[in-house]
Amino acid sequence: MNPEEFKAQLASMGIKLSDKQMQQFATYYQMLVEANKHVNLTTIVDEKDVYLKHFYDSITPVFYDQSLKTEALTLCDVGAGAGFPSLPMKIVFPNLKVTIVDSLNKRITFLQNLVDALGLDGVELYHARAEEFGGKKSKHREQYDVATARAVARMSVLSELCLPLVKVGGKMIALKAAQAETELANGNQAIKTLGGQVVADEEFSLPVSDDQRHIIILDKTKKTPKQYPRKAGTPNKKPIGEPEK
């Protein structure tokens, strides 16, 4: 998917990109490839693959949640790495107020340089572990309309990292690949325990590559119990509701 195909595919979904937005994506690509020589940001560096598997893929949640297009939502992107999915969404939909949390300071430095170069307003970056960022004493706990994550962890773990950040009445949106059904089945107890409820599992294929994708949307229906999230590393070692190995 070259840049023009990217633009045309989004237009077919009712999303029209301006010349300025296309230039922002071009700058994003150039800075990503350059920084990737020094910091491990992505294994995908070919332009057509970046436009499809990073930029386009990051925008797919808006196909299934229209509020992202128009409402002034606060969105927390957990473990964003090179800025996916939140920064491509922010370029296309400036109405979003984005907060990015990542545990590696080198990635945060890259993202700050990127945000400055793209001229994006309403983006905050934090070098932190998600478990601490959403902890019971954190000012960020249950403050966001939306928490999102892509390629971070399986649902039983991801729920504990994301749902504590979402206010009651907000939602968590997970971008997933082919194993989503199994992850949801194994993560059901964790989702309920943390105050979430599954409201959608949208399955589709990326254009060109036909790679299978899922957008999983959870509503935050009640407050997360104070003991969650547990200390850093524990959610991954002992996921809620999964038998110990």
Every domain of the chain and the residues it spans? 64-237
pLDDT at 41: 93
Average per-residue pLDDT for the chain: 95
pLDDT tens profile 119-132: 999 999 999 999 99
Q: What band does 94 get if pLDDT is binned at 50, 70 and 90?
A: very high
Q: What band does 243 get if pLDDT is binned at 50, 70 and 90?
A: confident
CA distance 190 to 187: 5
pLDDT at 153: 87
Q: Was 6 annotated as part of a binding site?
A: no
Q: Was 79 annotated as part of a binding site?
A: yes
Share of the chain above pLDDT 90, in %: 91
Q: Was 131 annotated as part of a binding site?
A: yes
Q: What band does 226 get if pLDDT is binned at 50, 70 and 90?
A: very high
Confirm if 214 and 177 have CB atoms less than 8 A apart: yes
Looking up tokens 């499809």 gives 52
pLDDT at 242: 82
- For the domain made up of 64-237, the CATH class stated in words is alpha beta
Closest CA to 9 of 44, 49, 59: 59
Is the pLDDT reported for residue 182 higher than 90? no
Q: Was 130 annotated as part of a binding site?
A: yes
pLDDT at 245: 59
Q: Was 14 annotated as part of a binding site?
A: no
Looking up tokens 């294929």 gives 205
